[in-house]
Structure 1
Amino acid sequence: MIKFPDNFLWGAAASAPQTEGHSLTNGKSATTWDEWFEQNPEKFNHGQGPQDTSNVYEMYKEDVANMPRVGMNSYRTSISWARLLPDGRTLNQEAVEFYRDYFQTMLDHNVEPIVNLFHFDMPWWLMKEGGWENRKSVDDFAFYAKTAFEQFGDLVKTWSTFNEPLVHIECGYLYQFHYPAIVDFKKAVQVGYHTLMAHVCAVREFRNSGADGKIGIILNVLPAYSRSDSAEDIKAKEAADLLNTYSFLDPTVLGVIPEKLITLLKDNDLLPYVDAADNELIAKNTVDYIGINYYQPRRVKAPDNSVKKARMPSDLYESYDWPDKKINPYRGWEIYPKALYDVAMMMKDQYHNIPWFVSENGMGVADEQRFMGDDGMIDDQYRIDFMKEHLEWLHKGIEAGSNCFGYHVWTYVDCWSWLNGYRNRYGLYSVDLDNGFKRTVKKSGLWFKQLSDNNGF
């Protein structure tokens, strides 16, 4: 029997834009997703946009009542910035009432709400002003954070500022998967820096508020794995770690931007514009905990061609296709559970053993209806096996002294996923889009209940 620490958090994660629906009603203003879907619906899987998603706005009471039935004692979701402050300043009272009842309903069912402020859903009013390219966004986000703490701080005791900030940076400014879908390494660095400062100023607002609780950030970080021990491959690994892992972990936990990262950016004419007081702000506003989202490893090698100045991350490191990999064919992602142990050791050895938790881990599979039994339940044994394998390595890390306090799956009920719509399903509950968003528990949900009840398996 593998047993986890007392009071371990067992739960799931989701986000407002991927679950709530009602994307342009009930006082909510448009986000970049609403506008992009209107401009280019052909980019979205089967025309599935952000307008409906999983209809949690109407069905949250049912969803929360079902959470203990699959063993959840905690749940991370986000607030929609565009719903709470439709123009950035004016409070939407209906949104306040919705979120307060949502969070109170969780508390009534002994489910701890862990609330995130930003999950890729940039308000359109701010995007028109440049979004994260504009330093003004830092102050706008700080005001939003302050408002959220004031409105919900009596209910929510665990906050996070951003979910996977690297994603909106890369996808929006390097790889064209998010709006504004441009390719500009220098802009991406500036967007990343403003995102970091927005996080820092939100933490400052939390400290100034005197709120009871803790605040952190959710990061998709892990050690990079190099193809070989050659000097060239190790240099590529170092660049990958600096850009993707240490860029946010070091300032948010240690209070300092790594000197090697500054040198790397300087050598490639990529340094962002900064304000004189920023270093002091970073140093004074570190986090209480870290959330780590883990799905797949990062394998790298030296670039095939050398350049004088990097214009894309691939000029510094390239992806390496490990021949022995096990793969999830639906996403094309490698399945490598041992990375969770390596993450646990990194947090212990490099980051003062700060409290951390697995804030997302999951397996997306297409056409899950194939696995439905006569009882109407989806037999997703593959998802159970995936969780077991990762939990075994996570447990090894905890046994070795890493300060991990929880494990959250992505996700609770099948949710909408950006450009992919509902192509791949991740939930412990299925959602029938053609039958009133009907929820049906999957086999993995029943297993998760046993996991939670036993605090292990």
Structure 2
Amino acid sequence: MVRGNRAIFVVLALLAGMLAGVGPAVAAPTFFWGVATSGYQSEGSAPDSNWRRYEQAKTSSIKDSYRESADFRHHYAEDIDRAKQLGVNVFRFSVEWARIEPRPGQVDETELAYYDDVVRHVVAAGMRPMITLDHWVYPGWVADQGGWDSDRTRDAWLANARRVVERYKGLGALWITINEPTVYLQNEIGNGGLAAWKAPWMLSRLVQVHRAAYDMIHALDPGALVSSNTAFIPVAQGVLDASFLDHVKDKLDFAGVDYYYGASLDNVSAAHAANGEFWKVTPQPDGIYYALRYYATKFPGLPLYVVENGMPTDNGNARPDGYTRSDHLRDHVYWVQRAKADGMNVIGYNYWSLTDNYEWGSYEPRFGLYTVDALTDPALTRRPTDAVATYRALIANHGVGDGYTPVRPPGFCSVVDGLSSCLNPARYPGPLAPLG
């Protein structure tokens, strides 16, 4: 998920199978409905890694101690079952390099067996795994050798990626190589893992590993869909794409878009995300349409997948404006349907996230369909929000109905895609297309 802080402005300135007993792969659906998680954010039992060290050092982004997060490591079976009950057909998670290779060349078979069982449960539940190879976390020993300032990291990363792909090939997995590369860079700089002036070298290595991983995955897992999801930042996206995505555009099977915060002339509240106060941002659901249109125009013919979308609340409290998680979910799905009706090849939508988790230094932003009080509830009870029933209904009905009117109307002169989204606004109201 997008971790916004002041470092984004620094970045903008710097940049002008082997698994037994699983069974056959799940058949491809007509539309991918999914939920998303990530390893460090949700698993608990954190091994030595760059982020474990940031948390222990209390770098500037850290507000809360990690503790056990949502302890997905020991609750995965029930969480996967919760996803199944929603009706989703995709379950996104990451296989954590720091967990399976705690020391150079030493593989932890117990942790590999854990991921084997995660994949087994996902496939048995009728879902396709969406496996992220790198969700901003690398082993502590990689940090010791310089992190992304070292070519050795590139080579070790690719060796680990091959290990994971060889293990879970042939199961119909969708593969994400690197989660939000430009925000990855932002966080490494902000937490002291990389000097700001070395940003171009990290980006160059991320480009290299994605391109190599794309070819490797297609050689080992023919027919698999591979991408790297990008955090869509209104107005600035062109600059951010020039630093990574434009260099890998021939190595993408779909454009993976993470959309959280939009902007318009009557809504500039996204500035709160720069301070980590995500819950103060006024949602801009129509912006997801313009984000999708931006990539439909930029990469004609390339399918589009909303890999992450969700709404944070302040410690699970209701928003002062009364806008609910269900409102947010329906409104964004409405605009995804509008995009599809207007000819955009949208193939999937993932909700971020299945449960509340550790939002890169804080438990205050709550994105989960299920609430988990990591700081106050030792049992880590999963409590459904209003959006659980809503998402289940949306999936069953292939989206919102033709008569749906968004709770939050379009902003005045959206600038999500710069002047293009203002001068060429979507028809509103307009036609809808079912998803699946």
TM class by shorter chain equals 0.7 to 0.9
C-alpha displacement at 1:245, in angstroms? 2.4
Match of 1:374 in 2: none
C-alpha displacement at 1:297, in angstroms? 3.1
Question: How far apart, in 2, do the equivalents of 1:9 and 1:210 lie?
Answer: 19
Match of 2:45 in 1: 22
Letter of the structure 1 residue corresponding to residue 71 of structure 2: N
Q: Percent identity?
A: 23
User: Is the CA contact 1:80–1:118 (under 8 Å) kept in the aligned structure 2?
Assistant: yes
What is the SS of the residue equivalent to 1:95?
A: helix
Match of 2:365 in 1: 424
User: Is the CA contact 2:334–2:399 (under 8 Å) kept in the aligned structure 1?
Assistant: no
Question: How far apart, in 2, do the equivalents of 1:210 and 1:370 lie?
Answer: 44
Question: How far apart, in 1, do the equivalents of 2:104 and 2:38 lie?
Answer: 20
Question: How far apart, in 1, do the equivalents of 2:256 and 2:165 lie?
Answer: 19
Match of 1:413 in 2: 355
Superposition pairs of residues 313-392 of structure 1, within 5 angstroms = 322-325=265-268, 330-368=278-316, 382-392=324-334
C-alpha displacement at 1:129, in angstroms? 1.2
C-alpha displacement at 1:241, in angstroms? 4.0
Letter of the structure 1 residue corresponding to residue 244 of structure 2: F
Change (3 A) 1:395 1:210: closer
Deviations 1:139-161 (A, max 9, x none): 11111110101112133521110
**1:180 aligned residue (193, 199, 202):** 193
Question: How far apart, in 1, do the equivalents of 2:139 and 2:246 lie?
Answer: 28
Larger radius of gyration: 1
C-alpha displacement at 1:364, in angstroms? 0.6
C-alpha displacement at 1:169, in angstroms? 0.8
**1:105 aligned residue (108, 115, 121):** 121
User: Is the CA contact 2:259–2:291 (under 8 Å) kept in the aligned structure 1?
Assistant: no
Q: How many correspondences in the alignment? A: 364
User: Is the CA contact 2:263–2:287 (under 8 Å) kept in the aligned structure 1?
Assistant: no
Question: How far apart, in 1, do the equivalents of 2:172 and 2:111 lie?
Answer: 16
Question: How far apart, in 1, do the equivalents of 2:53 and 2:233 lie?
Answer: 33
**Unpaired runs of at least 5, structure 2:** 1-28, 401-436
Change (3 A) 1:216 1:42: closer
User: Is the CA contact 2:337–2:399 (under 8 Å) kept in the aligned structure 1?
Assistant: no
What is the SS of the residue equivalent to 2:372?
A: strand
Question: How far apart, in 1, do the equivalents of 2:304 and 2:80 lie?
Answer: 24
Match of 2:240 in 1: 244
TM-score (norm 1): 0.74
TM-score (norm 2): 0.77
2:115 is the counterpart of 1:150: no
Letter of the structure 2 residue corresponding to residue 187 of structure 1: K
User: Is the CA contact 1:71–1:453 (under 8 Å) kept in the aligned structure 2?
Assistant: yes
C-alpha displacement at 1:298, in angstroms? 6.6
Change (3 A) 1:35 1:112: same
Deviations 1:284-342 (A, max 9, x none): xx12122110111378xxxxxxxxxxxxxxxxxxxxxx454466875443522222222
User: Is the CA contact 2:369–2:388 (under 8 Å) kept in the aligned structure 1?
Assistant: yes
2:57 is the counterpart of 1:44: no
Match of 1:375 in 2: none
Deviations 1:36-74 (A, max 9, x none): 22233786324x22x411111111111111112223221
Question: How far apart, in 2, do the equivalents of 1:39 and 1:222 lie?
Answer: 29
User: Is the CA contact 1:252–1:287 (under 8 Å) kept in the aligned structure 2?
Assistant: yes
